[in-house]
Structure 1
């Protein structure tokens, strides 16, 4: 089995771990992982790495993501999404389109976001969701995240409830559930997420994604070289520099930015991901030996 990325269209009610387990059977290898967990309720783009490509995943998880979401105003839940129990209700009937636009605008840009109580964040070494399930109040600290775009695409009013469809582009680590919660709180009626579909992780979008059944019939693997060239700046090097990189050596910086850079041999083979620090390009992951 070749190494590369598989762009999966995750089905609803599957955990990201469930997808990895199925992909191990499809690809017939244990070396399978994923970048950026999706909650079971969510669907859409899950980037899966096979064999050597598992070493790319931690770097891909840092890229921008896109989502289509539905937020219900007028109800709050203990998980901030439809999987949880309703904890409060308050009529959203008086929320105007103008107030909604203002609330969305206030949650756009670089913001301080408190993760949901039911999340995988660790508090004193224990996952927050495990503490929450035991009935413990979890004190999670706000974290800076960037919401590049938060665009309302439709508003549907049902008596005391208002359903808001929105598209969101955001940095890694942003919880769309928390955006729903915070929008509802700002509007005084509470809110939670009722639907979520991830449309993009970095350069990999739904147009590239395949369902698990489609992949079982025809396993489409994006080769390592193509995956890296799509996601990161590319640096082609000489035979001498290729030998250095293959042995974990540093190269002079080439001014290609602060993030990972893909380094390629003269024949197009992917050699490594490097990161420029000062005047040197330091290997993050070497893929040849």
Structure 2
């Protein structure tokens, strides 16, 4: 009989881990592995990556989970490969083949014309194999039952689109793309639409997220590397919760003013109006929460609890 698995003693952990998500794991599976390695009590992620996608996945722990939703609106950058001539049920290599078509000879001029067509504001119909909800149920749940539901087209922004042939012998059978885009852009759908525009269809055979908001793959750590670290080094790999607030105006409050703000009280000052504010206590410097300023009044939005603040500062 196998020995019972040792129970992990959970602890309060606060911060952001920039994970390079591996191939084959869902975002939640990757989150649970990192949570177990850090022995964290509370964790969440800032939007999902498909199991067949790799790359930047910010994971939030403890107090950072209060601000994770703010990162859902961040712009993203991806690298992907479109396999031409084959369409699938999911728009990627995970699905079943729907159709196979011959890939016509594609000139550089045709490729450039298609690239220009998908730059700027475009509309997309969300794929059935997505987490988008209809009547409280994710679309992929309908898809698994063989049910297709009507989806409204959405407008998204493609800021940058680079396309280059991926050669196999002498024939053009795949295209490598790099995409910088707004939130809500489905790269699988973009790949399918590009394949359709080239007259042969296509699906994604590779997808990697290289940036989300200010976070880049160069800043990320793999699960394998995280596991190889000792406990102190794992904690040191975390960014502070305010890493999720790069576009927030920083305001620092002294002593009693900080305490009153932390209690939810409005504070007055000569601050400019601002929709997004990160509020810090002065000594020691620590994030207290987010707020907005209207007519010189600082109004709290999301606050850390006194317990969270004490844990972050290492105060018993």
Return the TM-score normalized by structure 1: 0.90
- List gaps (5 residues or longer) in structure 1: none
Q: Relative to structure 1, is the Cα distance of residues 185 and 236 closer, same or farther in structure 2, using a 3 angstrom cutoff?
A: same
Q: Relative to structure 1, is the Cα distance of residues 191 and 20 closer, same or farther in structure 2, using a 3 angstrom cutoff?
A: same
Equivalent residue in structure 2 for 1:245, among 261, 264, 270: 261
Task: Specify the alignment match of 2:39 in structure 1.
Answer: 28
1:274 aligns with 2:288: no
Measured in 2, the distance between the counterparts of 1:176 and 1:85 equals 18
State the 1:85 CA deviation.
1.0
Measured in 2, the distance between the counterparts of 1:65 and 1:113 equals 16
- List gaps (5 residues or longer) in structure 2: 1-11, 307-316
Measured in 1, the distance between the counterparts of 2:101 and 2:175 equals 16
Measured in 2, the distance between the counterparts of 1:139 and 1:158 equals 41
Task: Specify the alignment match of 1:235 in structure 2.
Answer: 250
Task: Specify the alignment match of 2:167 in structure 1.
Answer: 156
Q: Relative to structure 1, is the Cα distance of residues 151 and 255 closer, same or farther in structure 2, using a 3 angstrom cutoff?
A: farther
State the 1:283 CA deviation.
3.0
- The CA deviation string for residues 25-80 of structure 1, in whole angstroms up to 9 with x for no partner, is 11112301111100000011110011111112111121111111111221111101
Task: Give the total of aligned pairs.
Answer: 286
Measured in 1, the distance between the counterparts of 2:127 and 2:294 equals 35
Q: 8 Å contact 2:274–2:294 — kept in the other structure?
A: no
Return the TM-score normalized by structure 2: 0.83
SS in 2 for 1:61: helix
Q: Relative to structure 1, is the Cα distance of residues 6 and 159 closer, same or farther in structure 2, using a 3 angstrom cutoff?
A: same
Task: Specify the alignment match of 1:168 in structure 2.
Answer: 179
Q: 8 Å contact 1:93–1:157 — kept in the other structure?
A: no
| Aligned Cα root-mean-square deviation (Å) | 2.3
Task: Specify the alignment match of 1:98 in structure 2.
Answer: 109
Task: Specify the alignment match of 1:54 in structure 2.
Answer: 65
Q: Relative to structure 1, is the Cα distance of residues 110 and 58 closer, same or farther in structure 2, using a 3 angstrom cutoff?
A: same
SS in 2 for 1:145: strand
